[in-house]
């Protein structure tokens, strides 16, 4: 493809997603292939917006890709990760041009709110389109996965399921949509319990868990049951069935990491207090169920009608700083193309 | 043995013990046989004192054993458990007399401070002696185990190791001493983080874990390594080696229970805060290591010289109510015999 036939620039956005059946462990680090499936909810509001332009003058003075984050040059580690991702896109498109990538995030970065999921889903869509490729949702999911395992799910709106796949090239390790964002009236209330970066990044934590936790095989063996039950509950729009599976999956993920050596503990006192708040809500008849990612925040799934009271209870929990109420959101989409 | 040849009454005491390699899971519920070994520290100060008298007039008006707890008739469930234990002693001694048992506890009952360990160790010694038996430490340990799995270790002072045993009758599922209470100058600082009974009793929690946790087999497989390393560290009096093993074992026990369905979470916010305090102490060069039993309290092993500063740091931790500093204590012993 020649430079002149490419779009001048493409801007895409994607929402972050929160796994209800957790993703923890890779079967191939280079290809980012998951060791087990997962099931997630893509969220509106919290996401990434990314603009990509491939052109002779798009790169830096030394011919590398120019990567901007929130308007400023991105830090070296993140820029290198984006550049490696763009190499995949260039290879696929038969393109040799440098790119300018400008990304902004409405997810607190690296704080357990899955910023990389939204970021790489938006980047996969914007970069592939800017390179002249028209990928199917499954192909986009596969591409996004190479950037971040959880990004494969943010290609889809609402509830999505990620498959482990069996192929060594990863072509079947992709997500698919289960129920779009319009189809089930639920909310996710996110209780923020700390500021700043999480203690251990999830890739490093997954590696340590796989190598040292005596529970890692038990974890992997438990996921297919959770997935099957969670999928059925989502398709039936049955919150009372889905909630306990989500709590079980989250706690087993954390338990598996806690058993690593050295142990990995993402919780702070407010994390435990917020779990207790959720159990209290349930004891009083509110269908509310928590999940926790690789960070200290507590995310509570409930019916839309119950979200105000869930939010208020979480906000009144000692140590909880603020509570975001998030709706299901659409999958990755193009905002504009010039 | 005739009534007249029996001592009029025997009073014994035993200290509670805290497992550093945790006991979690039974291979035989009726005989209280552990599914894996464990290693513990018996403590001074916190314990049980029990007086036993077998005599025709010792029982209640309907011929049952009279069981007093802290001077008042014990609650029915506890009394029944003591009566079943006394039946074992009577069978062994060829005795048919009822008993009066008066027990007092200096351990907060059923709050994760292992009150049953001290209680059944003291009862095993007092009741066997009052019934005219002279049991070896290993025989006492076996007998105590029938009352409570962890009681087998409180027969011994200082550091003790409990064996799983291989016999179906449990005769080799007994503890033995590793290092007596005089031989290593350490302290256990107990940060009390809640009042009252724990959420799930340990026997019920062990049962649920064995039946529903996908991590139970991984837990059992991990214990022998912990035991071997912990034993070597105790014999070498090497706190820097023992501490991380103790933390690993405690967290794996909690993680195994957390993965049960429904999950079992013993922690409260202060539990997590106290763990963080311990890590902070270590970061500042103090050898301090936590363990947590089936309850919310955090127990911190340190050198005697460091105990005041460890106590102060724990006491300043949000949610910690008070901190007990406990020394290694002797095994079960006779206080008086009339």
Per-residue pLDDT at B186: 98
pLDDT of residue B195: 84
Chain B residues within 8 A of A265 when measuring between CB atoms: 251, 272, 275
Q: Is residue B337 assigned to a domain?
A: no
Domain end marker among A165, A183, A201: A183
| Interchain pair A269, B265: CB under 8 A | no
Indicate whether B149 pLDDT > 70: yes
pLDDT, one tens digit per residue, over A176-213 is 999 999 999 999 999 999 987 666 788 899 999 999 99
Residue A317 lies in a domain: yes
Of all residues in chain B, what percent carry a pLDDT higher than 70? 96
Question: Which residue of A246, A259, A317 to mutate against B (max B Cβ within 10 Å)?
Answer: A259
**DSSP string spanning B271-306?**
HHHHHHHHHHHHHTT--EEEE--SSS-EEEEEEGGG
Tens-digit pLDDT profile for residues A16-60: 999 999 999 999 999 999 999 999 999 998 899 999 999 999 999
A262, closest residue in chain B (CA to CA): B248
Q: Does the beta-carbon distance from B272 to A272 stay under 8 Å?
A: yes
Is residue B297 in a domain?
yes
Cross-chain CB nearest to B259 (options A244, A255, A276): A255
Of A161, A183, A205, the domain-final residue: A183
CB contact under 8 A, B263 and A273: no
Q: What is the DSSP letter of A31?
A: T
Predicted pLDDT at B197: 64
Residues in A touching B248 (Cβ below 8 Å): 261, 263
Same domain, A179 and A191: no
pLDDT given for residue B313 in this prediction: 98
Mean pLDDT for A68-85 is 94
Question: What's the pLDDT tens digit per position in A123-174?
Answer: 999 999 999 999 999 999 999 999 999 999 999 999 999 999 999 999 999 9
CB atoms B218 and A259 under 8 Å: yes
In terms of CA atoms, which chain B residue is nearest residue A318?
A: B269
Q: Specify whether the CB–CB gap between A323 and A188 falls below 8 A.
A: no
- Summarised one tens digit per residue, pLDDT across range A242-296 is 999 999 999 999 999 999 999 999 999 999 999 999 999 999 999 999 999 999 9
Lowest mean pLDDT of A73-77, A241-245, B233-237, name the range.
Answer: A73-77
Mean pLDDT of B149-163: 97
Distance CA A122, CA A13 (A): 5
CA distances from A19 to A38, A112, A149, A273 (A): 7, 11, 11, 21
Q: pLDDT by residue (tens digit) across A211-222?
A: 999 999 999 999
Q: Which two tokens stand for residue B97?
A: 């007399």
Residue B144: is its pLDDT beyond 60?
Answer: yes
Distance from B216 to chain A by nearest Cα, in Å? Answer: 8
* ipTM exceeding cut-off 0.85 for this assembly: yes
Number of CB pairs < 8 Å for A and B?
A: 95
Using a CB-CB cut-off of 8 Å, the residues of chain B touching A219 are 214-215
CATH number at residue A77: 3.30.230.10
Whether residues A177 and A238 share a domain: the answer is no
Report the alpha-carbon distance of residue A192 to residue A144 in Å, rounded: 27
- Judged by CB atoms closer than 8 Å, whether chains meet at B218 and A215 is answered as yes
Pairwise CB contact (< 8 Å): A248 & B271 = no
User: Any idea which of A102-111, B128-137, B200-209 has the lowest mean pLDDT?
Assistant: A102-111
- The residue in chain A having the minimum alpha-carbon distance to the alpha carbon of residue B268 is A272
For residue B105, being part of any structural domain is answered with yes
The span from the CA of A287 to the CA of B175, in Å, is 47
Q: Strand runs (DSSP E) across chain B, as ranges?
A: 10-21, 26-28, 33-34, 38-54, 66-69, 72-73, 99-105, 159-162, 175-179, 186-192, 288-291, 298-303, 322-326, 333-337
pLDDT given at position B108: 58
Residues B120 and B246 in one domain: no
CA atoms within 13 A on the CB side of B196: 4
Which tokens hold the place of A158? 């609402």
B276 belongs to a structural domain: yes
Q: What integer pLDDT is reported at residue A110 of this predicted model?
A: 45
Distance in Å, alpha carbon of B191 to nearest chain A alpha carbon: 15
Cβ contacts (< 8 Å) between B259 and chain A: which residues? Answer: 215, 218, 222, 251-252, 255-256
Model confidence at A107, pLDDT cuts 50, 70, 90, reads: low
Assess whether B118 and B210 both reside in one domain: no
How far B337 CA lies from chain A's nearest CA (Å)?
48
Across residues A61-72, what is the average pLDDT?
Answer: 92
What is the distance in angstroms between the Cα of A200 and the nearest Cα belonging to chain B? Answer: 15
- Position B193 scores a pLDDT of 95
A 182-221 residues inside an 8 A Cβ radius of B = 213-219, 221
Number of alpha carbons in the 13 Å side-chain half-sphere of residue B25: 28
Give B-chain residues touching A255 at CB under 8 angstroms: 215, 254-256, 258-259
**Among A217, A216, A294, A321, residue whose Cα is nearest residue A260:** A216
Same domain, A224 and A312: yes
Residue A103 lies in a domain: yes
Q: Are A116 and A246 members of one domain?
A: no
Residues B50 and B162 in one domain: yes
- The distance from CA B231 to its chain's CA centroid, rounded to whole angstroms, is 18
Residues from chain A contacting residue B218 (CB–CB below 8 Å): 213-218, 259
Mean pLDDT of chain B: 94
Residue B14 sits in the same domain as residue B155: yes
Instruction: Say which residues have a Cβ less than 8 Å from residue A262's Cβ, sequence separation at least 6.
Output: A208, B244
Q: Report the mean per-residue pLDDT for chain A.
A: 94
Distance CA B302, CA B274 (A): 14
pLDDT category of residue B71 using cuts at 50, 70 and 90: very high
Interface of B with A in 309-328 (CB under 8 A): 318-319
Q: Name the one residue in this structure whose structure tokens are 């290694």.
A: B328
Question: In the block, which residue shows the tokens 């034993």?
Answer: B231
- What's the confidence (pLDDT) of residue B206? 93
Residue B3: the pLDDT is 63
pLDDT at A198: 64
Domain boundary pick from A154, A183, A212: A183
CA distance to partner chain A, nearest, from residue B3 (Å):
54
Q: CA A255, A258, A264, A270 torsion: positive or negative?
A: positive
| Amino acid A106: pLDDT | 80
In terms of domains, do B67 and B37 share one?
A: yes
Instruction: List CB contacts (< 8 A) between A267 and chain B.
Output: 272
Q: Are residues A46 and A169 in the same domain?
A: yes
Who's near B308: CB < 8 A, 6+ residues apart? Answer: B325
A209 Cβ contact partners less than 8 Å away, ≥ 6 residues apart: A24, A25, A216, A219, A256, A257, A259, A260, A264
Q: Which residue of B has its CA nearest to A214?
A: B218
Chain B residue with Cα closest to A254: B255
Chain A environment of B263 (Cβ under 8 Å): 247-248, 251
| Residues B12 and B124 both lie in one domain | yes
For residue A65, is it within any domain? yes
pLDDT at residue A114 greater than cutoff 70: no
- Grade residue B110 by pLDDT with cuts at 50, 70 and 90: very low
CA distance B309 to B320: 15
The domain that holds A243 is classified in CATH as 3.30.70.890
The total number of residues written for chain B in this structure: 338
Q: In what order do the strands lie in the sheet with B322-326?
A: B288-291, B298-303, B186-192, B322-326
Q: What is the pLDDT of residue B46?
A: 87
| pLDDT tens for each residue of B318-334 | 999 999 999 999 999 99
Nearest CA distance, B166 vs chain A (angstrom): 23
Residue B338 lies in a domain: no
Please answer whether residues A154 and A145 qualify as being in contact, where contact means their C-beta atoms are separated by less than 8 angstroms: no
Domain range for B273 is 186-326
Enumerate the residues of chain B whose CB falls inside 8 A of the CB of residue A298: none
- The Cα of A225 is separated from the nearest Cα of chain B by a number of Å equal to 11
Q: How many domains does chain B have?
A: 2
C-alpha A139: how far from chain center: 17
Same domain, A179 and A213: no
């Amino acid at each position: 493809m020649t430079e002149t036939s490419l779009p001048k620039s493409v801007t895409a956005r994607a929402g972050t997603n929160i796994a209800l059946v957790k993703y923890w462990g890779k079967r191939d680090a280079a290809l980012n292939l998951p060791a087990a499936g997962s099931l997630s909810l893509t969220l509106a509001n919290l996401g990434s917006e990314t603009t990509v332009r491939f052109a002779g003058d798009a790169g830096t003075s030394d011919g590398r890709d120019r990567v901007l984050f929130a308007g400023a040059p991105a830090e070296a580690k993140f820029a290198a990760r984006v550049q490696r991702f763009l190499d995949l896109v260039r290879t696929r498109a038969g393109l040799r041009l440098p790119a300018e990538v400008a990304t902004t995030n409405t997810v607190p970065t690296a704080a357990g709110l899955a910023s990389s999921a939204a970021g790489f889903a938006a980047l996969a869509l914007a970069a592939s389109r800017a390179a002249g490729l028209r990928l199917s949702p499954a192909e986009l999911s596969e591409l996004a996965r190479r950037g971040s395992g959880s990004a494969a799910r943010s290609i889809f709106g609402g509830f999505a399921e990620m498959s482990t796949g069996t192929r060594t090239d990863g072509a079947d390790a992709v997500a698919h949509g289960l129920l779009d964002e319009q189809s089930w009236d639920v909310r996710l209330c996110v209780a923020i319990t700390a500021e700043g970066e999480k203690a251990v990044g999830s890739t490093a934590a997954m590696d340590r868990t796989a190598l040292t936790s005596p529970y890692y095989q038990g974890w992997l063996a438990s996921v297919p049951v959770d997935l099957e039950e969670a999928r059925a509950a989502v398709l039936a729009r049955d919150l009372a069935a889905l909630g306990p599976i989500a709590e079980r999956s989250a706690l087993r993920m954390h338990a598996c990491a806690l058993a690593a050596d050295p142990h990995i503990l993402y919780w702070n006192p407010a994390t435990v207090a917020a779990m207790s708040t959720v159990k209290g809500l349930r004891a009083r008849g509110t269908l509310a169920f928590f999940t926790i990612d690789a960070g200290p925040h507590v995310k509570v799934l409930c019916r839309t009608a119950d979200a105000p009271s869930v939010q208020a209870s979480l906000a009144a929990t000692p140590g909880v700083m603020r509570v975001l109420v998030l709706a299901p959101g659409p999958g990755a989409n193009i905002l504009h193309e010039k």
